[in-house]
A and B are shown apart, each in its own frame.
Chain A
């Protein structure tokens, strides 16, 4: 399942948030978008997942154009979005949050198997499955947000700042989990201000600056780039 974004433009109240964004994500790839606050990273993800409608350009999944589809239809095509700030349903239990992630599916037996897989990946969520999501720590809430998205059986997983506000060992563990998910065949598109983490995990990267792609390359080459090192890696 290949994702192709061509000359994407997004405006918010006549202000250009994205200008001519083009990226290609092949099946099974691990791609990252890095850049500072306001660069357009989250807007790019939100446009791919259908939460924001573009004012120009196109987004294609294999040969099918998807930029005008609803977010629900895009989810059903296999693109799941783990939003910034987790956005879990705090008054529902852990299990209820996870079941909601599977709302597009009808086969209960398979949904239960998917739930078992999520619990196996995140044992802490199983321990807390009956608790309200608001009682979870920040790290647990992030695990829940990722787990909920996995319940939709995505082919492409979009993640927006999964490391935000989390302690270092949890960040490393999330990185490990994302690597595992990718190795199991899910394409991952990761947006991160933590460029270190992002370039460590990804195969390929795009650097966004003021709504445009400033550079793109294999992640290990971006990590060696002097401008990237100075601006985003603090080296």
Chain B
């Protein structure tokens, strides 16, 4: 059941980046001057990580297998699929609000703050729903053969941080993000007031 470990690890990786995003917005609220590169880096990571690695594994391999063994979970699986699409829209809202804040100034900050709050809350709740309503059922109900097929598909995708064949592109991006996110959240210089 390596796939379960992969999904949970990826939720953790994503959670760490969302945590950063939320707390950096708090820092601006407390009067710190933002470095917009940091937000661009975090959002690029989230965008590529979710789109290329995380959601396709769930939607293409795990959810269909769970649905086949547990048809009563159809409403939950459909809701999670719908949430993947809703999450994309909330993410686009964050991107637009960031551009407005960056180019039009502090008057646009509150919309950016709200967009980040709504998006991070949404993704946390989405991951929580998967981990509490789908993964435990999958763990108990899927056969060893099914898990082997899912594991093979997942391992070919690879978690960019902790897979056995980490993607160079994502590793590099993640290191760059850690190096520019301001301390104490990351290793970059702290933002000034």
Judge if B134 is at the interface, Cβ distance under 8 Å: no
Q: Which residue of B lies closest to A124 (CB)?
A: B187
Judge if B99 is at the interface, Cβ distance under 8 Å: no
Judge if A173 is at the interface, Cβ distance under 8 Å: yes
Interface string of B7-37 (1 = CB under 8 A from A): 0110011011101100000000000000000
Query: B184: which of A139, A172, A201, A220 is its contact (CB, 8 Å)?
Result: A139
Judge if B186 is at the interface, Cβ distance under 8 Å: yes
Q: Judging by beta carbons under 8 Å apart, are A137 and B162 in contact? A: no
CB distance from A60 to the nearest CB of B (A): 31
Judge if A56 is at the interface, Cβ distance under 8 Å: no
Count residues on chain B whose CB falls below 8 Å from chain A CBs: 29
Judge if B137 is at the interface, Cβ distance under 8 Å: no
* Measured CA separation A175–B13 after assembly (Å): 11
Q: Which residue of A lies closest to B4 (CB)?
A: A224
Q: Judging by beta carbons under 8 Å apart, are A137 and B184 in contact? A: yes
B residues within 8 A CB of A143?
A: 187
Interface string of B144-186 (1 = CB under 8 A from A): 0000000000000000011000100001001101110101111
Q: Judging by beta carbons under 8 Å apart, are A138 and B184 in contact? A: yes
CB distance from A192 to the nearest CB of B (A): 14
Chief secondary structure at chain B's binding surface? helix
Judge if B85 is at the interface, Cβ distance under 8 Å: no
Q: Judging by beta carbons under 8 Å apart, are B178 and A169 in contact? A: yes
Given A139-B187, A168-B19; A200-B12 close (CB under 8 Å): yes
Q: Judging by beta carbons under 8 Å apart, are B162 and A169 in contact? A: no
B residues within 8 A CB of A132?
A: none
Q: Which residue of B lies closest to A201 (CB)?
A: B162
Judge if B5 is at the interface, Cβ distance under 8 Å: yes
Q: Judging by beta carbons under 8 Å apart, are B187 and A140 in contact? A: yes
Within residues 172 to 190 of chain A, which ones have a CB less than 8 A from any CB in chain B?
Answer: 172-173, 175-176, 179
CB distance from A151 to the nearest CB of B (A): 20
Q: Which residue of B lies closest to A171 (CB)?
A: B16
List the interface of chain B (C-beta within 8 A of A).
1-2, 5, 8-9, 12-13, 15-17, 19-20, 139, 161-162, 166, 171, 174-175, 177-179, 181, 183-187, 190
Known: A169-B181, A220-B5. 16 other contacts (CB 8 A): A137-B183, A137-B184, A139-B186, A167-B185, A167-B186, A168-B16, A169-B174, A170-B187, A172-B16, A173-B175, A176-B166, A179-B162, A200-B5, A200-B9, A201-B162, A224-B1
